[in-house]
Amino acid sequence: MEITLTLNGRRITASVAADTVLLDFLRAHGCASVKCGCETSGCGLCTVFLDDTPVLSCSVLAVRADGHRVTTLEGLEAEASEFVTFIADQGAEQCGFCNPGFVMNTIALLRENPDPTDEEIRAYLAGNLCRCSGYEGQTRGIRAYLNAKKEGRL
C-alpha cells in the first residue's frame, strides 16, 4: 500500500505492508527517538503525535497515518529543550531509555494544561514505564520548570 503523510513537517510517500505498525515505519525513516519497549501498548516509549494527539505508535498501523501529520521528538526539539534540562537536573534520566516518551507526553500535558498540579502531572504520565527513577524525578523536574516559568527565569 502507498501512504502519504507529513513527518516532522516533511511530506513523505512510501509503500508499506498492510500490517506495518507506525513505530516500525518511523524507525525506518530515521526517527530514533521512537522506541519499542513492550509492543503491547503498556510502556509509552513509542509515543508520537498524530495530528497533535499523543498515540502509541506500536498500536497504530502505518496506513492509519495516511493523510495525517506525525510528529516525533525529532520534530519537537525546540519545544522540548525548554524543560528537559529541568528533568535531567533531578536525576530522572538515569538510563535515558524512557525519556522520549516522557518528553512527548509532557509536551502534550503542557499544551493541554499549562499549569498542572503534581497529581495531574503524575496522572498524565502514568502510561510511561520507567524502571530507574520511580517517576518522582520527572515530576520534580516538570514542577521546577513550571516554577521557573512563573518566576520569569525563562
Which pLDDT tens digits describe the chain residue by residue (154 residues)? 999 999 999 999 999 999 999 999 999 999 999 998 887 887 888 999 999 999 999 999 999 999 999 999 999 999 998 888 888 888 777 677 778 888 999 999 999 999 999 999 988 888 887 777 667 888 889 999 999 988 988 8
Q: How does 75-102 read in b/e, with b if 16+ C-beta sit within 10 Å?
A: bbeebbeebbebbeebebbeeebbbbbb
Ordered structural domains, the chain, with CATH: 2-75 (3.10.20.30), 82-150 (1.10.150.120)
DSSP state of 62: G
Partners of 135 in the β-ladder: none
Task: Tally the C-alpha atoms within 13 A of residue 139's C-alpha that lie toward its C-beta.
Answer: 17
How far, in Å, CA of 122 to CA of 152, rounded?
A: 24
Length of the chain (residues):
154
